[in-house]
Structure 1
Amino acid sequence: MARYTGPKTRISRKFGEPIFGPDKTLSKKNYPPGQHGNNRHKKTSEYGIQLREKQKAKYTYGVLERQFRLLFEKAQRAKGITGEILLQLLETRLDNVVYRLGMAPTRAAARQLVSHRHITVDGSVVNIPSYQVKAGQVIGVREKDKSMAVIADALNGYNHSKYPWMEWDKSSLSGKFLHQPERADIPESIKEQLIVELYSK
């Protein structure tokens, strides 16, 4: 499936946030890209603001338009606050959980680990990045891949206490998904209500 493979800094500058991870260029050029990036004063419409928030969420979690729409529809059908449930569904994607557990430095790298069959769920290999992880499931590294440099480098010095909805076991290189994250615990600065308003039109 087609994924965004262009310049990541350009997208981060568009939103004014390091949505793909730490970005040195963004701190130097904290204005939109393009010839007139530093001199734009055009007022954005309400629709434009809502669309921008949806695009930010899609780029952040590496989800395509159709996948994102399906997740939104699933969130709408569930009981509770649609925007919060949407973010929870994005957070419980296997590629995102692998990233949050520190097994990969970025979500794109986590997606690659999953696709290349390096990750297990409850002991069985799962190679679907969009797989929805459930409470109580254990996500680990396949036995013969535990010495992979990319995983070892990512885990080196990683703070596993950042996300209270997950528990890390250093000895087995695995993490347990304890429960759905609360909205207050999700660090992404996404205004999910704007996305709900956009789709409700």
Structure 2
Amino acid sequence: MARYTGPTTKIARKFGEAIYGADKSFEKRNFPPGQHGNNKRRGKKSEYAVQLQEKQKAKYTYGILERQFRGLFKKASASRGITGEVLLQLAESRLDNVVFRLGIAPTRNGARQLVSHRHITVNGEIVNVPSYSLRAGDVIAVREKSKSLEAIENSLANNSNVYEWLTWNGETLQGTFVTAPERLQIPENIKEQLIVELYSK
């Protein structure tokens, strides 16, 4: 399964945002990497460069590589609704993202690992495909044998996020994907229209 495994702080510094969550290293050096990183006199970026950076930010945020991301865009383009919003809804509907949102894992990378290692079930069946697309009403749960995993217990104990489009039962360790989120319910700072403009060229 292809995925990005390089340094995360460097990527966060590139975009000027902690896209992978709280990061002490990023807080200390929140300027672009490289020997000219702190130089305020960098030239103005072209329209294409701005659009490309926004697409790269979305890809790194959700942990999706180019081929998968392009596939999501094609699917969003063929769907009803605003293409950019549908694109983010599709990304949010991925199983690894929902496991992260529910607090079962502290990061999307951690969520992807839990799914791949068969710790997560969907509607009672084990699903080990992180990109699995959830539908309204799907029930996501921690597999019975995995409920005592320390990593999962610690993540849930430290999670305080609540999302209107997800429900969670702390006793049974299962949640429901109620519906795809509206754009206002997605907290990611992504200008999806720039991505649409880039792919539409």
Q: Is TM (by shorter chain) over 0.5?
A: yes
Match of 2:25 in 1: 25
Give, in angstroms, the shift of residue 160 of structure 1.
Answer: 4.5
Match of 1:197 in 2: 197
Match of 1:50 in 2: 51
Match of 1:131 in 2: 132
- Pair 1:157–1:7, CA change in 2 (3 A): closer
* Structure 2 residue 125 is matched with structure 1 residue 140: no
Q: Does the Cα contact within 8 Å between 1:160 and 1:168 map onto a contact in 2?
A: no
Which consecutive residues of structure 2, in runs of 5 or more, have no partner in the other structure?
none
Q: Which amino acid aligns with 2:178?
A: L
Residues in 1 aligned to 2:11 and 2:161: alpha-carbon distance in whole angstroms:
28
Residues in 2 aligned to 1:159 and 1:29: alpha-carbon distance in whole angstroms:
27
SS of 1:120's equivalent in the other structure is strand
Give, in angstroms, the shift of residue 27 of structure 1.
Answer: 1.4
Residue deviations 1:125-177, cap 9 Å, x none?
0000000011111100000000001100100042242x100000111101111
Give, in angstroms, the shift of residue 2 of structure 1.
Answer: 3.0
Q: Does the Cα contact within 8 Å between 1:160 and 1:167 map onto a contact in 2?
A: no
**Percentage identity across paired residues of the two chains:** 66
Match of 2:63 in 1: 62
* Structure 2 residue 187 is matched with structure 1 residue 187: yes
Which consecutive residues of structure 1, in runs of 5 or more, have no partner in the other structure?
none
Residues in 2 aligned to 1:58 and 1:15: alpha-carbon distance in whole angstroms:
12
TM-score (norm 2): 0.97
Moved over 2 A (4+): none
- Pair 1:103–1:90, CA change in 2 (3 A): same
SS of 1:117's equivalent in the other structure is coil
Residues in 1 aligned to 2:140 and 2:62: alpha-carbon distance in whole angstroms:
19
- Counterparts of 1:83-122 in structure 2, within 5 Å, are 83-122=84-123
Match of 1:152 in 2: 153
Match of 1:171 in 2: 171
Residues in 2 aligned to 1:166 and 1:56: alpha-carbon distance in whole angstroms:
24
Match of 2:15 in 1: 15
RMSD across aligned positions (CA): 0.8
